[in-house]
Every structure is written in C-alpha cells, then in structure tokens.
Structure 1
C-alpha cells in the first residue's frame, strides 16, 4: 500500500510576509478595541472585568469578529503570489473596515434603532440591545465580505464597490428592521419593538438578530448572480440594491413558511413576544439563517 507524505517547500519570503500579515491582523484587532473604547468613552477593562458588563462584552466581541471577517476577505482576495500586495491590502481594508464598522454603528444608532441611545443602553448592561447591535455589525461585515470577493483587484473602483456594498447593507438592515417592527406592532397591540428591546427582551433580540444575519447571507447571493463591471459603479449599486431587497423579501417569506412547518402547533407570538421564550427564538434564528444559506447555496 502506497502512502503519500505531504511536503512543504520552505520559502523565507513567504514566511516573512505571512508573519507580517499575522502582525497586521493583531494590530488591527487591538486598534478595533481602542476605537470601541473611544466610541463608548469608558474604561473597557473596567466594563469587562470590573462591572462584568455582558452587553458591553457582546458588543466588543461582535466588532472584533466583524473586523476579522473583513480582514479575512482581504487576505483571501489577494493573489497568493503577491505577498506585499496582500499585506498592504489587509492593512488598508482593515483600517477601512474599522471606519465602516464605526459608521455602521452610528447609522444603526441614529437611523435604524432611533428611539433610544444604543450606547447608553449597552453601558447600562442591556443584553438585548447588545445582541441586536452585534448581529447588525456582523451582518454588515458579511455583506462587505461578499462585495470584496466580488470585486477584482485592489483599485479605486473596488473601493467604490465596497462603499456601495456598505450602503446596500445599511439599507437592507433598515428595511428588515422596519418590517419586523411593523409585524411586532400588529401582533402586540401597537407596542413598539424598540421599546420592548429597551426593556431587556432577550428572546426578541435573538429573533431579530437572526433576521439580520439571515438577510446578510441572502444579500450575499447578489455576488453570485451579478457580473462585476469596474467602471459601472452606478449600475453596480442599483443592481446590488435590487437583488438585495429581492432576496431579503424572499428570505423573510421562506423563513415564515419554514417556521410554520417546523414549529407547527407553537404560537410564536405568544412564546417569543409575550413569554420571552429564548429556546423558541433560537430555533427561529436557526431557521432564518438556514433558509438564507440554502438560497445562497442554490445560486452559487
């Protein structure tokens, strides 16, 4: 019986740039926590280990994971033979990712969830707000990743495409949130979903976070359908937005059908909205993300 032994060729140049990439990634992660500290204007160490602020920890963790997704995408897109460009691309897109995550948080606070101060709620330890904030941040990073892998090269046009993808991401999050708010108000005597989140309804936060993440994967399907044209950035933006909204609605509809079939006999409104059933909300989240991944796989 013949056996094959995997052999790795030693390349000092590759090892040097690989080490540089790891160093850049670590520096970016440290910078991300520093930027988050500036945003909250508090001692992050005291919040995490002194006050044991779980909401703060969830929010920081989502920022680090979102940045990791962006850096991962930059490294994956770069040519394996061009180590210097790959390191430069990781650095530029990493810094850009930190800026976009910060802008995304501002948009989420001022436009999407505009009935309360998200920063104050997180500092007060509101876990439900921390979960929704984290889901939004990671969902934005997932969409940006799909745009980064969709573009070609390391040019001004690819940067414009990424900014367009960021705009699409925020638009989709806004539409999704407003649809969920309308559904919640209809099922709960015109009560406000945002007000309930402020009251600390974790099950609702898990349910809504699942919608945001599911929609992010569904929107990523646009990168499998559309052809990238570097100079046609206006049509790229319009096409991405159209496909994103189309797959958002499709995901919501199919997820609704899946929930009615899989959770047959369970009153979802009563269990999640009124009885705060985290278990049922988690199943809803899994089904929403699962449907979105199925759609993404079908168009890949």
Structure 2
C-alpha cells in the first residue's frame, strides 16, 4: 500500500465517521428527543439500537462508494463521499418515515422508541441496515460514484421499500390468520401484529427483522441478474422489481418448507406470538437469513 492509497483510506474513514453524527441527531429530531439525554441519562436502549441501525446502514452505503475504482483526485473522492453520505442519510430517514407513516400503520414507531420499546427499535434498525445494504449493492451495480449513479440508487430504494412493505403486509396477514380469537381457545397474544409490537414482543420484532434482512439480501442478488450496461434505466428498474419480488418469494417459500423440520415439534405460534420466546424467533430469523445466503451463493 503506497502513501496515496493510505491517504485515500484515511479520507474514506474520516468522512464516513463524520456522517454518523448527523444520523444520530436526525433520528433524535425525528423522535423529538435529545440524543445525549436519551443515551446517557435516560438510558433508552431502544434509541441506541435505532441509532446502531442507522450507523450500519450509512456505513454499508458509503462502503459502496469506496469499493469502486480510485477517483481522479482526493478532492473528487471527498465530494463523492459527501454526496452519497448526504443521500444515504436522507434515504435512511425516508425509510424510517415510510415504515412509520405508511407501512406499519397503527403503530407510532417514533413514539414507541421514545418510550423505550425495543421491538419498535429492532424494526427501525433492521430497515435502515437493509436500506444501506441495498444502496451499497446498487452502487456496485451501476459502477459509478458520480451524479449519474444517484437516480438508479433512488429508484432501487423505492423498489426495496415496496418489497419490504409487502413483507410487512405478509407478516401482518400471517399473524392475523394464526391468532383469530374466534378460532383459538385461551389466546393471550395481541389481536394484531401491530398490537404485539406495541406490547413490546421482542420475539415478533426479531423474526420480522430476520425476514427484512433476508429480503434485503434477495434484493441485492438482483444486481447479478440485471445487466445495467445492456438495458435502459426503466427496463433495468423493471427487472429489479421483478427479480426482487421473485427472490423474496422463493426465500419465503423455502422458509415455510423447512421451518417445520428445523423446529420439529415446536409450536412456533405459541412460543413466539404468545410467549415472546426470543430463542425460537432467533432460529426463525437465522433460517430466513441462511436461506437468503444460500440463494446468493448459488446465483452470484
């Protein structure tokens, strides 16, 4: 490693870490709290977890900028990092707002995190990590850290949020079908999936986070299946959506197939939905993520 490469590395590290600060305060502003007070006085673990997700998502995205070919100068490198760091920060906050206001209705995620609800924090953190993961892969896909890479990143962000919204709808629907009071005797779970999140069922949130991450991996796999150089922007985005939904469906189907084998004789509904068994939920999350990595290894 020569001196020029060392300087470039240091620039990347410094700029990336500098963006951690605005993400922290942007989340605090969204929640309507003081970041320092929540972390060291109130000891709000949920707020800390949500910040951790934001940091991961942002760094994931900025490593996508770093992984490209060396830029012509250090100034150009700094400008590129600043540009995508700003975009990454905005996309992370946008992802939180989309989940909070549109996808997971009937739950004020910001309010729940402010009140220390770890379930809400896990959901928000996982979503932000996935946003950054998808953005990182998109940058590698378009092979550009200049202005012409912004539109594909934003377009794939929109696709990813639609797919993740579908995942949330699926989880809500499955929970509703499993926990109908008129067909279940002595149920002690919340009436709805959203109600379980409000009640602080960490197991429900952990399982959902696993599915979000698995879906994020499925979306990134699409970059290996769509050739950006031989297609126009609209055609490429259309194929991204097609493959993203398809691969997410494949992973869900495989999960439903293998879950009874992995958790043989375990009543998943009783353990996770009713008893908030984090151990069982962790196995479910690991299964979905593992299946996503298997698909990744096969197709990429």
TM-score by length of 2: 0.92
In structure 2, the partner of 1:3 is none
Q: Is the 8 A contact 1:78 1:89 kept in 2?
A: no
* Gapped regions of structure 2 (runs ≥ 5): 182-190
- CA deviations on 1:142-172 (whole Å, 9 max, x unpaired) are 1111111111223443211101110011001
2:130, 2:216 within 8 Å by CA — same for their partners in 1?
yes
Residue 174 (str. 1) matches residue 184 (str. 2): no
The residue aligned with 2:144 is 153
Alignment partner of 1:29 is 2:20: yes
What SS does the corresponding residue of 2:76 show, helix, strand or coil?
helix
Instruction: Describe the SS at the equivalent of 2:43.
Output: coil
Distance in 1, Cα, partners of 2:256 & 2:231: 39
Write out per-residue CA displacement over residues 69-88 of structure 1, whole angstroms, 9 at most, x where no aligned residue.
11111111242775443332
Could you tell me how far apart the structure 2 residues matched to 1:153 and 1:69 are? 16
- Looking at structure 2, the residues matched to 217 and 30 of structure 1 have their Cα atoms a distance apart, in angstroms, of 27
8 A Cα contact 1:75 1:89, kept in partner: no
For 2:67, what is the secondary structure of its paired residue? Answer: helix
2:25 and 2:54 map into 1 onto residues whose CA distance is: 11
Pairs within 5 Å for 1:123-138? 123-138=114-129
Q: Quick one: structure 1 residues 99 and 262, their matched pair in 2 at CA, closer, same or farther if it must change by over 3 Å?
A: same
CA distance in 2, matches of 1:70, 1:260: 36
- Measure, in 2, the Cα distance between the counterparts of 1:70 and 1:107: 19
Q: Which residue does 1:162 correspond to in 2? A: 153
CA distance in 1, matches of 2:230, 2:16: 28
Alpha-carbon distance in structure 2 between the residues aligned to 1:146 and 1:217: 10
Distance 1:155 1:199 in 2: 45
Instruction: Map Cα deviations across residues 76-114 of structure 1 (whole Å, 9 max, x no partner).
Output: 124277544333222211111001111111111111112
Identify which of 33, 54, 64 aligns with 1:73: 64
Per the alignment, residue 280 of structure 1 pairs with 280
Alignment of 1:46-195 (within 5 A): 46-79=37-70, 83-189=74-180, 191-195=191-195
Alignment length (residue pairs): 291
Divergent runs of 4+, >6 A: none
Task: For residue 231 of structure 1, report the CA deviation from its aligned partner.
Answer: 7.2
Whether contact under 8 Å (1:210, 1:285) holds in the other structure is yes
1:223-256 Cα offsets, whole Å, 9 max, x none, are 0111013871111211111110001111111111
Residue 151 of structure 1 contacts residue 228 of structure 1 at CA under 8 Å; is this kept in 2? yes
Instruction: Note closer, same or farther for the CA distance 1:103–1:81 as it changes in structure 2 (3 Å cut).
Output: same
Contact 1:219–1:244 at 8 Å: present in 2 too? yes
Greater Cα offset, 289-298 or 37-46? 37-46
CA shift at 1:20, angstroms? Answer: 2.3
Corresponding position of 1:243: 243
Distance, in Å, in 2 between the alignment partners of 1:91 and 1:27 is: 10
Where do residues 218-237 of structure 1 align in structure 2 (5 Å cutoff)?
A: 218-229=218-229, 232-237=232-237
Check whether the contact 2:65–2:145 (CA below 8 A) recurs between aligned residues. no
How far apart, in 2, do the equivalents of 1:24 and 1:155 lie? 17
The residue aligned with 2:11 is 20
- TM-score normalised by L of structure 1: 0.92
